[in-house]
Amino acid sequence: MKQMPDAQSPLKLGTRGSPLAVAQARETRDRLMAAHDLPEEAFEIVVIRTMGDDRAMIAADRPLKEIGNKGLFTKEIEDALLSGRIDLAVHSMKDMPTVQPDGLILDCYLPREDVRDAFVCLTAPAIADLPQGAVMGTSSLRRRAQLLNRRPDLKLVEFRGNVQTRRKKLEDGVASATFLAMAGLNRLGMTELARGAIAPEDMLPAIAQGAIGIERRSDDARAERLLSAIHDTPTALRLAAERAFLATLDGSCETPIAGLALLEGDAIWLRGEILRPDGSESIADDIRGPASEGARLGRDLAQRLLARADADFFAWREA
């Protein structure tokens, strides 16, 4: 087994290049430093450009489903991990496909941040205060469908880019308001941008929102040992339920799906929602059971929602 990382042979952490992604990689590095009493020089953060970061695509505000679906923000990073260019890959878990490539494993999660969506607007304090026909910017199929379900009068435009890019678009008048994840604003120290956090009861978040996952090669015993010291079991239990729910629904960038698992002692409470992309119909339900059976609960809840959906509920997928 390789020795502990040091300045001459640092552990390489791969990440996307946005300020938020780099902040998440630094949080991972700092936790590893503290857990193993290692200096900063024992780690190297390697920025990797993904298809989802293509500036031309962002500038054109193309819908994500036109660019690519699963793996849009992860494939190039995972390729670097498989080739040995990096030792670990740091991901926002809401971007992660539910199945990892052969040779890779995802079994380390950091403590989960705030799961809620943030309402960001320069003029109105809340969604209800937006005027009739106001323009809302978002590229999220989930947020679009949830918003149209509640405010079908609003006009929606594609709105991509990192936190800084989206703020600039609001200032330029591209849209009146947008959504960001509270977790990202917290990690960037930019909570002042949020007019308020939206309660899950009003807008159920994306699967795994607020969670950071660290992926490794399945045969890398050193990485497994290093990561075991920073793994957060409560987050893992919650994500097991949420990601099983997503996997059973075959979720992708084309599917408006929301879900949130909460721990209640030794039990887990999972809420889930599926929507038509135009917001015309929402089907929601919840389930409770032992936290150790989160994956089964996620599958069971997904089957419940599928059973309640009309035969044409997912017809838009083939349209």
CATH number at residue 299: 3.30.160.40
Residues 81 and 162 in one domain: no
Any domain includes 236: no
SS3 30: helix
| pLDDT of res. 165 | 87
pLDDT digits (tens, 9 = 90+) for 168-204: 999 999 999 999 999 999 999 999 999 999 999 999 9
Domain count, the chain: 3
Within this chain, do residues 104 and 123 fall inside the same structural domain, yes or no?
no
Average pLDDT over residues 244-253: 80
Residue of 281, 270, 272, 271 whose CA lies nearest to 314: 281
23 has a pLDDT exceeding 90: yes
At 54 the pLDDT is 61
From 198, 223, 252, the end of a domain falls on 198
Asked whether residue 279 falls in the same domain as residue 151, the answer is no
The rounded percent of the chain whose pLDDT value lies above 70 is 90
Residue 56 has pLDDT above 70, yes or no: no
Residue 81 belongs to some domain of the structure = yes
Residue 255 domain-assigned?
A: yes
CA distances from 1 to 52, 219, 221, 223, 249 (A): 35, 11, 7, 10, 40
Residue 314 maps to a domain: no
217 and 77 assigned to the same domain? yes
Q: How far apart are CA 16 and CA 27, in angstroms?
A: 14
Domain match, 253 and 131 both: no
pLDDT band per the 50, 70, 90 thresholds, residue 79: very high
Could you tell me the pLDDT band of residue 57, with boundaries at 50, 70 and 90?
A: very low
Best CA proximity match to 313, nearest among 272, 270, 276, 285:
276
Q: Mean pLDDT score of the chain, rounded to an integer? A: 91
Residue 227 included in any domain: yes
Average pLDDT on 253-278 reads: 92
Which amino acid type is present at position 104?
L
| Residue ranges making up the domain that contains 20 | 11-110+211-231
Q: Return the pLDDT at 223.
A: 97
Mark which of 143, 173, 198 sits at the end of a domain. Answer: 198
- How far is residue 16's CA from residue 81's CA, in Å, rounded to a whole number? 13
HSE at residue 230, side-chain half, CA atoms within 13 A, is 22
- What's the start-to-end Cα distance of the chain, in Å? 52
In a shared domain, residues 134 and 63:
no
Dihedral over Cα of 39, 41, 42, 45: its sign = positive
79 and 222: one domain? yes
Residue 55 confidence (pLDDT) above 60 = no
Query: Do the Cβ atoms of 96 and 107 come closer than 8 Å?
Result: no
pLDDT at 156 over 90: yes
- Say if residue 33 is in the same domain as residue 152: no
Q: Which amino acid is at 149?
A: N
Number of H helices, E strands in the chain: 10, 13
Q: Residues of the chain with pLDDT > 90: what percent?
A: 81
* Confidence label for 2 from pLDDT (cuts 50, 70 and 90): low
15 and 102 assigned to the same domain: yes
* Residue 136 covered by a domain: yes
Exposed / middle / buried, residue 138 (Cβ in 10 Å: 0-12, 13-18, 19+): buried
Mean pLDDT of the 260-277 span: 97
In a domain, 184, yes or no: yes
Closest CA to 210 of 107, 291, 93: 93
Task: Tell me which of 53, 87, 95, 220 is the catalytic residue.
Answer: 95
Sign for the CA dihedral angle at 149, 255, 91, 60 comes to negative
Q: Which CATH number characterizes residue 163's domain?
A: 3.40.190.10
Name the token pair of 122: 């320069």
**Catalytic: 219?**
no
Q: What are the residue ranges of helices labelled H in 37-113?
A: 55-59, 64-67, 75-83
Q: What is the pLDDT of residue 162?
A: 81
Please indicate, yes or no, whether residues 62 and 148 belong to a single structural domain of this protein: no
Q: Does the pLDDT of residue 62 top 80, yes or no? A: no
Per DSSP, the three-state class of 291 is helix
**Residues 297 and 312: beta-carbon distance below 8 Å:** no
Quick one: 99 and 53 in the same domain? yes
pLDDT at residue 317, rounded to an integer = 55
Q: Which residues pair with residue 155 across a beta bridge?
A: 135
Q: Which pLDDT band, with edges at 50, 70 and 90, does 159 fall under?
A: confident
pTM for the full model? 0.90
Q: What are 270-302's pLDDT values in tens digits?
A: 999 999 999 999 999 999 999 999 999 999 999
pLDDT at 252 over 60: no
Is residue 105 domain-shared with residue 123, that is, in the same domain?
no
Amino acid 103: pLDDT:
97
Tens digits of residue pLDDT in 89-105:
999 999 899 999 999 99
Confidence (pLDDT) at 189: 95
> Is 316 inside a domain boundary?
no
Would you state the structure tokens that stand for residue 301, as one six-digit string? 């809840």
